[in-house]
Every structure is written in structure tokens, then in C-alpha cells.
Structure 1
Amino acid sequence: MTGQSAAGAPHDPEAEPEAWWVFRGPSDLPAPPPWRRFPSEAGTAATRAPYLLERNEISVINAALHLHRPLLVTGRPGAGKSSLAHAVAEELGLGDVLRWSVNSRSTLQDALYRYDAVGRLREASLRREREASHGSVRRPRAPRATTAGDIGQYLRLGPLGSALAAGRPRVLLVDELDKADIDLPNDLLVVLEEGEFEIPELARLPEHQQEVPVLLSGSRERVTIHRGMVRCTHFPVVVMTSNGERDFPPAFLRRCVRLDLPEPTGERLRKIIEHNLGARAVAAAEDLIEAFQQRAQTQTLATDQLLAAVHLRISGADLTRDELLGAVLHRLDEPMAP
């Protein structure tokens, strides 16, 4: 099979070891691209390339921060909408991003909190069975009172609930909000406008059990909920993304600051490649950039598809140009063949 070198010229497969063909094995797995590195990988640091923004885009983000309004980011798939939330969190030192990935079945309850009532009842039943098996129950006794600490073990705040309950500013990513049910955007805005919500399971507890520690989303950190009310003390940085699959109500749009990420120009694509893969990668990518721009005129493509193609080329992919484009630069608006 004839492939191409990083410079785009064919290379002789007999002159170089076929190290790229990992699947033919046995072989060690290759190092991941920079944007696919995770902290759980041994010896691998989770790093993110600098996020590219123009001055006018930065000004919109700053407007949202000053107004304490949600930032609604629109643009085609792969334009970097979700990555923007991570860039804001890193730039402002606000820790890990709280992420809520929305789909057609998502409800506001999913984002606020989850209560495992079934698990709690099962644990109570098992506890009674253990007491009975040890002979500790000789006569009927009153039901064991539920403690605040007990119910807190079966309740965990969701991403939105954690963003509001945290005692410090957090970044909340509401990803692909346009996939939600038609009523969800307005329901979400009500909570963000009021900055609070009630947890009925805690509000019904007796007066002496009104201080309940609950877990935050994605961590072992706990916050204490008083009288079942979660109240915001620091408004979170809310980044909501949309691929433009539907329109939002005017009342929703009025309460958001909008940022539309434009179609990337050739110059912007080169900057994105340089920031993610280095300056040398740009020289190896000119024909791929040209092919990407030509196809993007009539097809839905994502910028990270171009990055993937360039990464494969500079890593020594033993593929022709057409094979490389066919492997990763497939159109996103075409249904899969049955």
C-alpha cells in the first residue's frame, strides 16, 4: 500500500518499518492526540491547547461574565463550543467543569438532584432483616426514625444543583440544549433567574432534621442543605451550547448573551492546527485544509475532523490522501447506510 509522508510525498513502505499498523499487532498502543489525553492514563497529563478566540468573541464572553447571564454558544458541530467552557474554567481558575449533556429525554430534575428512594428502602429492609436474624427483635417496635445523615446518603446534587449549591463560582456546561424537550429551556431559566430550588424530600423532614449534608456532582465534596432549599451564593458561569437544530423562545433568548462561532477561514484553521499540533503540522496540512474547505461548502463537517486527519498524517499514517480523507472526513449530515 502506498502512503504519504508528513510532507505529503509518497514513501517507500519497504524503507520504513510499518509501525503505524498497530492493528496488525502485536504492538503497543500509540500515544493519543493532545486533545484525547486523560489524567487517568499513567504518565499522561491532561492538557488542553490554548483556545483560539478573536477579540470580538472575547468581548461577548466578558459581557456574560459581567452581567451574570448564561452564555449561549451556537455554531456548527466541532466548532469548539463545548471546549469554550473548559477554556473559561481554566482561564479563571474555577476548577473542573460541571457538565450536563442534554438529550430529548432530559428533564430539569436530572440537572438538579437525584434521590435514590428505592435504594434507601432496600437498605432499611436489609437492616430489619439483619436485626431479626440476630434475635434483636423480640417484640414489635416503633419504626426507626430516619436521620438527616441517612437520607443524605441517598441524595446527590446534579450538575446544575451543584453549580448553585457550591460555595464558590463554578462553570456549568449545558451541552446541546437544542436537543431538549420544548419546555426545558424556559424551565431551566426559571431556576437560573431565581437562583434557588427546593428538594421536597428534605423539606418534609422534621424540624430537628433540617440540616442535611449531600454530595456534589462528580466529587466527594458535601454541602449542607438547610430546610430543603438550595440557594445560590455565587452565580455560576453558565455556558449553553446549540447546534442550531431548533429555535429558542424569545423569553429565553432575552436572558442569554449570545455568541455565534463563525465558519473558520483558512487562516483560522491554520492557527487551530498550529495551537493543537505545532507549527510543523501546518506545512503538512495544506492539501487537507483545501479539501476540508471545499467539502465544507456543501457538507456538514467538524473542525476536529480536520485535526484528526492532520494528526494521522504527521504520526506517519500509511494512507494515501484519499484514504486519509475517507477515514475521518466523512460528512456528518448523511445517515448511516443500513
Structure 2
Amino acid sequence: MTAPGKPGWWIYQGHGLPPDAGTEPPELPDPPGWRAFDGGPPLPTPPASDAEFVRRLGVPSPISASDAAVDEIQTVNAALYLRRPLLVTGNPGTGKSSLAHKVARELGLGPVLQWPISSRTAFRDGLWEYDAIGRVQAATTEQGDDIGGFVRLGPLGTALLPYDRPRVLLIDELDKSDIHLPNDLLAVFEDGEFEIQPLARVAATQPEVTVFTHDRGGQATVREGRVRCRAFPFVVITSNGEREFPPAFLRRCLRLEMPQPGLEQLVSIVAAHFQEVPLRGQDLIREFVASSEREGGLANDQLLNAMHLATSGAYLPDENWALLRDALWQRLNVGGTD
């Protein structure tokens, strides 16, 4: 249901609250014709653990949960309508990866599939892996020759299974990848499908193979060695702005810049994790904002760390607390941005 005063075309309202008990998640609009896919048969959305969402997002109140910027909400909704990846840039700790969890929780799209990127990440890592050595060893010990037991879909490969509703895929810190990965993603983003070569080679004799997925305990049937989506996933790609991406890649993404959170947004974040903002906490948030402006941007979790210690009895208005607080609020660009 659209909140009062918000455009009627918005599906995602920005509050990050789950659907009310006993109600169905919001219906998603049909994609444009050029983003419609016909994979199948359709798979149901796996159930999500709200405890995991609470761990990451806290428990926002209905009043304070609608502080997301209009630009953020509109861009997320545009990506949902167009079935296009969302490239989210901003300083570390500004809530880029949390956005994927907010969308999944609010729209009931199941657990978030996460693909953390490093300089050693290969394109195929996101699609599938095949344990050829394990299969040979199993054959020599007469444990059978079920090839599906040695294939596991990666987070991107799992997101492209033919779910009846889009899965949420978080590709985290793409700017840490090698130079080829963004271009490697283009064909999959356009075609919504990929081939698993070991399964394609045996498709004549084993047209249907059950493989493991990236979900915990998940399995899915792959037909003729090819995975094709039904509803293109909601893809959130985060970047700290450390590199430029190819124009062809940028053209296929919608872009969102996450600003440093202001005082009201920080109060909402703290309230979501601590149920209420203690009196000392209000002063701490103001100190954090001032320190963040001096240091060129601090991460939200640095504030939460200080708040937890302050509310756990570590706070006394003395020099020791000031030293501890300053140690927690060190600049993020000293010795790297991790």
C-alpha cells in the first residue's frame, strides 16, 4: 500500500519494513518487453529469515522508517520497473549494501544473494563451480556418477534461476574487481541466461540435473545445461568510487549516489538498533556528525560501535572516553578504505 503523499507508482516505499502478517507482498509490475524472459518452470521464492534482516537493519519504527531520500526511493523503483541493475556509489558505511536488504525485506523477495568482490574474483565464480576432482574421486570409490552433486550455482547463477518473483542480488564493491569483470557481466545482464558447460556436455543423456544453489540447503533442476531467468533479479552493485567503469556497463545500469547521512537519518538508524535513542546517545550522534564532517566521512557502523559501548556502561565524561571514541572514529581513508 502506498504511503499518503507518495506517488502511486512507487512499489518500494523506503521504510524497509516487512509486509504485515497475513498479507501478500506487493505485486511487481510487468517488465518492459525487452526485459521479459521466459525461463521455467517457475520456482517459488525461498523463505527469508527476518532475524538476519534485523541483524543488518535493526527494527525501524513505522514513523522513523520513511526517512529515505526521495532520490533513493525513485531510483530503486525505476530499477524495479525497468529490471535494470542499480549501481550504488558512495563513501564506505553510507548504507549502500543495506539498500539491497531493505528492498528484499520490504517487498518480500527472499534472502539476499551476496557476491563480495575482490581482485581475485572471476566471472565464473558468480555463476557456477564444478568439483571435477571430487567427481573423479567419487567414481573411483563407487559412490555413483551423479554430476549434479558436484555442481553448485554461485550467487549470480542462483539469482538467474526462473523464480516467479525477482531475487535480490548484491554485488558488493565491484571496483575491487579486475578490469574485465564489468564487461563480462554485460551479456548475462542482457540475455538473462548462461550455460553450465559440464552439464551441457551430458545433456543428451542427462537432460535434467539437480544441482546445489547458493541458498543454504537449496537445490534446483537445470535443464539441458542452461539456466534462464523468468523474472530478472533486482541487482544492487556497490562501488566506493575508486575506479571508472566502461561506458557500455554504465549504460545498462541505473545510478544512485548515496550521500553521507544527516542528523535525522542517523537518529533513525540508532533507534532501529537500540529501540530508542538514550539521552547520552543524542549528544553522541551530534559529536559523530561533527567528527564525520572534519574527517571527510565516517561509516554508520562506527557510530553504532560507539553507541553500544556508551550504553553498556563504558561512558564516563572523562579523558578515557574521549580517547576510546576517537579510536573508534578514525578516518576511513587511513591505510585503505575497508
| TM-score normalized with structure 1 length | 0.75
Code of the aligned partner of 1:76: N
Does the CA contact (< 8 Å) of 1:305 and 1:328 recur in 2? yes
Aligned counterpart for 2:240 among listed residues 240, 243, 247: 243
Please state how far the C-alpha of 1:259 moved relative to its aligned partner.
1.0
Counterparts of 1:235 and 1:264, CA distance in 2: 30
* Equivalent residue number for residue 40 of structure 2: none
C-alpha displacement at 1:207, in angstroms? Answer: 1.4
Matched, 1:159 2:155: yes
Q: Which runs of 5+ in 1 are unaligned?
A: 1-36, 129-145
Q: Decide whether the 8 Å contact of 1:69 with 1:255 is kept in 2.
A: yes
Taking a change above 3 Å as real, the CA distance of residues 106 and 162 of structure 1, as seen in their structure-2 partners, is same
Whether 1:333 aligns to 2:333 is yes
Which letter does structure 2 place at the counterpart of 1:207?
A
C-alpha separation in 1, matches of 2:109 and 2:50: 19
Counterpart residue number, 1:252: 249
> Is it true that 1:54 corresponds to 2:64 in the alignment?
no
State the 1:295 CA deviation.
4.4
In the superposition, relative to structure 1, how do residues 334 and 322 fare at CA in structure 2: closer, same or farther (>3 Å)?
Answer: same
Q: Is the 8 A contact 1:157 1:215 kept in 2?
A: yes
Which residue identity does 2:252 align to in structure 1?
Answer: R
The 5-angstrom pairing of residues 191-210 of structure 1 reads 191-205=188-202, 207-210=204-207
Structure 1 residue 81 displacement after superposition: 0.7
Mean Cα displacement is larger for which, 324-333 or 49-58?
A: 49-58
Deviation for aligned residue 1:163? 0.4
Quick one: distance in 2 between partners of 1:280 and 1:236?
A: 36
Normalising by the residue count of structure 2, what TM-score does the alignment of the two structures yield? Answer: 0.75
Question: Residues 285 and 310 of structure 1 are in contact (CA less than 8 Å); yes or no, is this contact kept in structure 2?
Answer: no
Matches of 1:264 and 1:76, distance apart in 2? 11
Asked if residue 63 in structure 1 is aligned to residue 60 in structure 2, the reply is no
Query: For residues 151 and 290 of structure 1, do their structure 2 counterparts lie closer, same or farther at Cα, with a shift above 3 Å needed?
Result: same
What letter is aligned with 1:314?
Answer: T
* Counterpart-to-counterpart distance in 2, 1:72 and 1:241: 6
Q: What is the alpha-carbon distance in structure 2 between the residues aligned to residue 206 and residue 309 of structure 1?
A: 56
Of 45-54 and 64-73, deviating more is 45-54
Secondary structure (helix, strand or coil) at the match of 2:260 reads coil
Please tell me whether the aligned partners of residues 94 and 171 of structure 1 are also in contact (alpha carbons under 8 angstroms). yes
Residue 182 of structure 1: how far off its partner (Å): 1.0
Give the whole-Å Cα distance in 1 for the aligned partners of 2:57 and 2:248. 38
The verdict on how the C-alpha distance between 1:211 and 1:107 changes in structure 2, with shifts beyond 3 A counting, is same
1:104 partner amino acid: S
- Alpha-carbon separation, structure 2, partners of 1:329 and 1:94: 35
For residue 323 of structure 1, what is the amino acid of its counterpart?
L
Q: Larger relative CO (CA 8 A, sep 6+): 1 or 2?
A: 1
CA distance in 2 between counterparts of 1:175 and 1:46 reads: 15
Counterpart amino acid of residue 334 in structure 1:
V
Matched-pair contact (CA < 8 Å) for 1:79–1:261: yes
Q: Alignment identity in percent?
A: 49
Match of 2:100, SS state, is helix
Letter paired with 1:167: Y
Task: Return the letter of the residue paired with 1:238.
Answer: V
Shift, 1:126, TM fit: 2.2
Greater shift after overlay, 158-167 or 288-297? 288-297
More displaced stretch, 261-270 vs 69-78: 261-270
Show the counterpart of 1:308.
305
**1:210 positional shift:** 1.3
d(CA) in 1 for partners of 2:76 and 2:147? Answer: 40
Per-residue deviation, 1:226: 1.3
Matched, 1:96 2:96: no
Structure 1 pair 282/166, CA: closer, same or farther in 2 (3 Å)? Answer: farther
SS in 2 for 1:76: coil
Q: Distance in 2 between matches of 1:275 and 1:327?
A: 24
Query: Is the 8 Å Cα contact of residues 305 and 329 (structure 1) preserved in structure 2?
Result: yes
- Structural mapping, 1:182-221, within 5 Å: 182-205=179-202, 207-221=204-218
Q: Give the whole-Å Cα distance in 2 for the aligned partners of 1:291 and 1:70.
A: 33
Tell me the distance in 1 between the aligned counterparts of 2:100 and 2:176: 19
Q: Note closer, same or farther for the CA distance 1:38–1:224 as it changes in structure 2 (3 Å cut).
A: closer
- What does the per-residue CA deviation read over 1:246-284, in whole Å, with 9 as the maximum and x for residues that have no partner? 111111111111111112223332333233324433653
Report the AA paired with residue 96 of structure 2: K
Letter in 1 for 2:258: L
| Segment drifting more, 160-169 vs 114-123 | 160-169
